[in-house]
Structure 1
Amino acid sequence: MIDYRKATVPVWTLATGDVQVPAVAGDKPMTAERLAELRGVLAVLADRPIATLEVHPLPEGIDRGRGMPLDAASPLAQHLSQLITQSAQGSSTAARATASGENLYRMVVPAKFAAQLGQGIVRPMTVRGADGKLYTALVNSTTKRIAGHVTFEPVGKAAAAGAAGGAGATVGVAAAGSAALTVAAPLVLMAVAVGVSANADRKRQQAIERITELLEQLHEQKLDDERRELDGCRYAIDKATAILLDQGKLGVSLGLDSAIHAISKALIDVRDRLARWQAALDKLPDDKPVEIGTLTEAFPGIDDHGGTFRTHLELADLAIALQRRVNVLQAVEHAQSDPGNLFENFTRALKADQQRLDELESGIAGVLVRLSALELARPNSKRPVLTTGEVDRLMRTAHRLHRLGDGVTVGGRPADVTIEILRDKDGSVVVFPALPAEV
């Protein structure tokens, strides 16, 4: 991991439209804490989404496989290259930092605007019952903190040579009185779209891995068919993602309509199962221990390492992750159809589609929390003392129940969204999954 303790890191303040705010940024170097405060102030003062973009040295041993690669000809890579070129002409700090051509760019969207993208879309990715968090490339894997300390130097004014005026401008300066704000709606749109899509695909991969492991123990053909049909949708989604991120048009031949139909059917199954789980919990007596037999009747296999219930949970995760990727595709297509109103169209379309998925995830989280709080009753037996096997099963099941609540997020305040972009010397980029900035 690179030591950033004495580094000066350039930072751009990117607006997604013409906005006018007081000159709160200034042109002097600032600390990370000051930068975070600045993002919060700008989010309050501006009515259009504003993001910051930092450029860091490329960390050693970074795992490119967890990101989404785009070649140098892709719109995102081109917008980023243009920003770098224009900024380097007017800032010696930016010129020095980007001279090697290999850097890690860290875009942060303030919580106020990140909330418009859907509350559940960029939650931390965890494996149920385990510490499976995916930490960002700038976070030390041992201490879980940002590696070293850096000083940030604003580089907004360097983009003055770009085309100003209008949310559709590639790079330019925002309205008078805020020259440190760079208008870069397409850059922010593409970064958010790819980061969110990569996040959803990472969740899909995790869900597939867990489902495969569970089905190997369960030997349930019907559930295996569900998994195959859902995972098969990703090929059409991958192709559609590549085409849209190159600003192309989607066609029927991609098979996206069939994929959406399969995902929609799976989500209906998820809603039906969720309703049954909620009804079963409502029937349990209040403030009384529950027998294992009563619990397993409503939640088959909940007392096992695998089990039907746990597989249903993972299938729900898979269906939701795939639908989130589809929602991003539809939002990007909608935004690109109106180049003068990019980010507003994107957030509007995405927010509308995310609400029902957020509600679905919230309902599943509520079920898991309620289950984890249940108290188990001892088995009915004429014997005054339980057998060793009965005691073991009771303790094992209680432990597994309590673990269901691990890593579950119910509600909570929206966090800043972080998207990291690795740029190679040839101009190609790898966009890593969008994550809450606090991980």
Structure 2
Amino acid sequence: MIDYRKANVPVWTLATGDVRVPAVAGDEPITAERLAELRSVLAGLADKPIATLEAHPLPGRLDRSRGIPLDSVSPLVQHLSQLITQSARSSSAAARATAAGEGLFRMVVPAKVAAQFGQGVVRPMVAKGVMCGFRGPLVNAETGRVVAGATFVPVGQATAAGAVGGAGATAGVAATGSVALTVAAPLVLMAVAVGMSAYADQKRQQAIEHITELLEQLHEQKLDDEHSELDGCRDAIDKATAILLDQGKLGASLGLDSAVHAINTALGAADRRLARWQSALDKLPEGQAVEISTLTKSFPGVDDHGGRFRTHLEIAALAIALKQRVIVLQAVEHAQSDPDNLFVNFARALKADHQRLNTLETSIAGVLERLSELELARPSGLRPVFTTGEVERLMRSANLIHKLGDGGMVNGRATDMAIEIARDKDGSVVVFPAVPVSV
């Protein structure tokens, strides 16, 4: 068993350009809380994105199926290997932690920087409800946490191996400040891109599972066709992701253009359905109880675990997740086309399209919240009392409808974003979905 409570692990401070910041950390070990404070200070003082990278022992059991695998010749893997090799020459802590050739590397991008990448990319969501839930960070199967109580040893300056630049540039060191900042723009860019792509694909998988279950109950061909067309986009997106992460060029033969068209068509349908839902809610009498029969006319199946309404929600979630993966691809392509301006292009490409997705997600969450707050009325009729079955249905429906609000966003506040990378002895890695973190 790995006792993380007593572990001393190295931590690198990664800059994406030459920056000058005041001395805010020495060479002594620091706690996780102090490291979180350091990230916030550096993010506030530096004019270029700054992240931290921690090296932990590789846990015995990891669910690698949740991540994106990259082989040893991938640019991200090469940048990480260069950083490790250079650091080991000048830091005994880094040398000891990386001597085995394997480990779990945890990159944390501060909230201020993560917000530049589009607040809708990685945002906490409750685990229950109809919309895709937040599943939490990677944890050790035995101890329950990866960084519980660990102390961090700042890695000193390494020998610069190259200039800062595009995705193919090697990691160097910014010697212009009093804090040792390893310049690793390509490493940070690629880690963020793969982590966000894995996060979006995790949401896609969750939506697929929900849709499949719902369609088995509905037997509606039209919705099944929508689902199939969207799910069919994955192959083109996966191939485009692999090519871009290997610094290749996208071609028409991939079919990415047709995939994007299908995704945009689905997003257009989601916008139209959203407008109808909002209009239906606006027409309900304010402050009055609503009969279930009235509600199900505009929201069919809202009072049950299945139904077209819930399927439409999941199809919208699937389209959003696929679009998020496409946006990351486009951002990487923009960044690689201008290697001297990595993060400006990357942030700009993400922000523009994410504004639409944020609006759509927030609006859908608003519909669910409004539905959950409705008061249900007893069915109208001549009988003065309910049957047992009617009472049970009303209570069950009220419970299900009130839980709809659980599927919305917790909040839109930006948080620190963590990307975890499992490195094996053969040099290959698995990059896990980016997740929001508190420390």
Smaller-chain TM-score range? over 0.9
One-letter code aligned to 1:230: L
- Cα distance in 1 for residues equivalent to 2:151 and 2:183: 24
CA contact (8 A) 1:111 1:415 kept: yes
CA contact (8 A) 2:13 2:52 kept: yes
The offset of 1:125, in angstroms, is 6.0
The offset of 1:127, in angstroms, is 4.9
Deviates more, 1:222-231 or 1:112-121: 112-121
The offset of 1:163, in angstroms, is 2.2
> Aligned residue for 1:288?
288
> Aligned residue for 1:322?
322
- Cα distance in 2 for residues equivalent to 1:154 and 1:60: 26
> Aligned residue for 1:93?
93
The offset of 1:382, in angstroms, is 1.3
CA-to-aligned-CA distance 1:14-50 (integer Å, 9 cap, x gap): 0011111112122211000100000000010011110
> Aligned residue for 1:381?
381
Task: Determine whether 1:200 maps to 2:231.
Answer: no
Corresponding residue pairs, total: 437
CA contact (8 A) 1:126 1:133 kept: yes
Task: Determine whether 1:251 maps to 2:251.
Answer: yes
CA contact (8 A) 2:174 2:181 kept: yes
- Cα distance in 1 for residues equivalent to 2:242 and 2:126: 27
> Aligned residue for 2:159?
160
Aligned 1:300-311 pairs, distance under 5 A? 300-311=300-311
The offset of 1:132, in angstroms, is 5.7
Name the TM-score, length of structure 1 as normaliser. Answer: 0.96
> Aligned residue for 1:74?
74
The offset of 1:335, in angstroms, is 0.3
After superposition, the Cα gap between the structure-2 partners of 1:189 and 1:172, relative to the gap in structure 1 and judged at 3 Å, is same
Aligned 1:35-114 pairs, distance under 5 A? 35-114=35-114
> Aligned residue for 2:432?
432
CA contact (8 A) 1:25 1:180 kept: no
Deviates more, 1:1-10 or 1:70-79: 1-10
Q: Helix, strand or coil: the match of 2:405?
A: coil
> Aligned residue for 2:371?
371
One-letter code aligned to 1:73: V
Name the TM-score, length of structure 2 as normaliser. Answer: 0.96
Which sections of structure 2, spanning at least 5 residues, go unmatched?
A: none
The offset of 1:267, in angstroms, is 0.5
One-letter code aligned to 1:412: G
> Aligned residue for 2:271?
271
Task: Determine whether 1:115 maps to 2:109.
Answer: no
> Aligned residue for 2:17?
17
Task: Determine whether 1:312 maps to 2:324.
Answer: no
One-letter code aligned to 1:197: S
CA-to-aligned-CA distance 1:389-432 (integer Å, 9 cap, x gap): 11111101100011111142154311000000000111111000
- Cα distance in 2 for residues equivalent to 1:142 and 1:371: 40
Task: Determine whether 1:352 maps to 2:349.
Answer: no
- Cα distance in 2 for residues equivalent to 1:221 and 1:409: 31
After superposition, the Cα gap between the structure-2 partners of 1:390 and 1:396, relative to the gap in structure 1 and judged at 3 Å, is same
- Cα distance in 1 for residues equivalent to 2:285 and 2:47: 50
- Cα distance in 2 for residues equivalent to 1:207 and 1:280: 25
RMSD between superposed Cα atoms in Å: 1.8
The offset of 1:178, in angstroms, is 3.6
Q: Helix, strand or coil: the match of 2:370?
A: helix
CA-to-aligned-CA distance 1:41-60 (integer Å, 9 cap, x gap): 00100111100000000112
- Cα distance in 2 for residues equivalent to 1:248 and 1:103: 28
The offset of 1:123, in angstroms, is 2.2
One-letter code aligned to 2:403: R
Identity of aligned residues (%): 73
The offset of 1:176, in angstroms, is 1.4
Task: Determine whether 1:218 maps to 2:194.
Answer: no
After superposition, the Cα gap between the structure-2 partners of 1:166 and 1:318, relative to the gap in structure 1 and judged at 3 Å, is closer
One-letter code aligned to 1:13: T
- Cα distance in 2 for residues equivalent to 1:24 and 1:66: 36
Q: Helix, strand or coil: the match of 1:100?
A: coil
CA contact (8 A) 1:13 1:156 kept: no
The offset of 1:229, in angstroms, is 0.2
CA contact (8 A) 1:21 1:177 kept: yes
After superposition, the Cα gap between the structure-2 partners of 1:141 and 1:47, relative to the gap in structure 1 and judged at 3 Å, is farther
CA-to-aligned-CA distance 1:98-145 (integer Å, 9 cap, x gap): 1111100000000001001111211246554389642322367896x5
Deviates more, 1:401-410 or 1:22-31: 401-410
Q: Helix, strand or coil: the match of 1:42?
A: helix
After superposition, the Cα gap between the structure-2 partners of 1:64 and 1:311, relative to the gap in structure 1 and judged at 3 Å, is same
CA contact (8 A) 1:17 1:167 kept: no
- Cα distance in 1 for residues equivalent to 2:66 and 2:113: 25
One-letter code aligned to 2:69: P
The offset of 1:264, in angstroms, is 0.7
The offset of 1:67, in angstroms, is 0.5
CA-to-aligned-CA distance 1:221-273 (integer Å, 9 cap, x gap): 10000000000000000000000000000000000000001001000000000
- Cα distance in 2 for residues equivalent to 1:347 and 1:164: 22
Which sections of structure 1, spanning at least 5 residues, go unmatched?
A: none
- Cα distance in 2 for residues equivalent to 1:126 and 1:420: 21
CA contact (8 A) 1:331 1:347 kept: yes
